[in-house]
Amino acid sequence: MKIRISYGTAISMGLIHAKMLAKPITAYFMTYHEGRCRNNCAFCPQARESRADLKKLSRITWPVFELETVTEKVKTGGFARICLQTIDYPDLVSDVLTILETFQPLGLPVSVSITPVEEAVLKRFKELGVDYIGIGLDVASERLYPKIKDSLYSWEDMWRFTEESIEVFGKGKAFVHIIIGLGENDREVIETIQRVYDIGAEVSLFAFTPIKGTRLENLNPPPLERYRKIQIALYLIRKGITHLEDIKFREDGSLISFGVGKEKLREILKDEAFRTYGCPGCNRPYYNERPQREPYNFPFNPGKNYVLEVLDSLGLR
Ligand code: SF4
């Protein structure tokens, strides 16, 4: 059986010899399938109608290796966690089960990002070492969801699956993925973030990255300034410091204030707000950013001074 590995993970394991910018603490894998995903998400290189290189997910390249070779190499990589991303195809569940069974003797916790599966399958995942589920809602707007996702699973199916995942794995063990920059407005994003936390799940933020050959290849990535605002709002909601009801928006849905005074914001905002947020041990280095540019999500805490810099640039200091 074959499996895809993120380029950085393959270097860490010694499967590819190249220089690495930041060592991943988590080993990132993706199911291998000869063909495309059966869904047609407009931003995704794996999508049914995309013409993009199948080796890609976001801006990362995922070379293919034998599952057996990889399992041997995981032992030497010093990883804290395994993260398995999946694309959707008819035999997906049985492939994921085989992969999990092969990895189980390694004794590492596993996160699986997957399209909705039955509750019994989630329970089997749990028996095989899975402790976190990633849910690709991706689009933070019910209005845009059907157009951008063009998937077998509706907006409500994704929420139902999130709730089922929490029932099986517990509070805080389901990470809903949201991509910023797909045409949604700030109000829609923050309403979605609040809904996620209200049901006991968590949010992982991504920045839209245009990939050649996808339906959205000509759309620009979101401005960094907007992304920072959403990161701040997410941090404040996650910590229970603010709530959707306290946040103010313009008529067009753009954010005006976080519902927290400037002074208080300066005191409470920590640099971890700008760091990759996901399962424990996840740093996803350079997942949606070019190494030469200021990252949307830092793979480490960028420092207290960075918080002041951001608040300055947003006129919030
Ligand atoms: S379901 Fe996932 S892999 Fe499939 S097209 Fe959508 S984002 Fe890509």
pLDDT tens for 40-60 read: 999 999 999 999 988 877 767
Instruction: Say what the pLDDT of residue 55 is.
Output: 80
Facing residues of 178 across strands?
Answer: 138, 205
Closest residue to atom 3 of ligand 1, CA basis: 87
- The answer to whether the CB of 39 is under 6 A from ligand 1 is yes
pLDDT at 291: 58
Nearest to 176, CA basis, from 207, 132, 127: 132
Distance from the alpha carbon of residue 151 to the mean position of ligand 1, in angstroms:
8
The residue ranking higher by pLDDT, 122 or 73, is 122
Cα-Cα-Cα-Cα torsion 231, 235, 240, 246, nearest 10 degrees, comes to -30
Residue 22 predicted with pLDDT over 70: no
The three-class DSSP label of residue 259 is: coil
For 211-232, write each residue's pLDDT tens digit: 999 999 999 999 999 999 999 9
* Domains delineated in the chain: 2-313 (3.20.20.70)
Residue 288 has pLDDT above 60, yes or no: no
- To 5 degrees, how large is the angle CA 201–CA 278–CA 62? 125
Is ligand 1 within 6 A of the CB of residue 158? no
Average pLDDT of the chain is 92
Give me ligand 1 centre to Cα 136, in Å.
Answer: 8
88 lines ligand 1 (CB under 6 A): yes
pLDDT the model gives residue 10: 86
- The SS3 assignment for 66 reads strand
Closest CA to 22 of 268, 282, 220: 282
Return the higher-pLDDT residue of 129 and 287. Answer: 129
Residue 47 CB–ligand 1 contact under 6 Å: yes
User: Structure pTM?
Assistant: 0.94
What is the pLDDT, as a whole number, of residue 8? 84
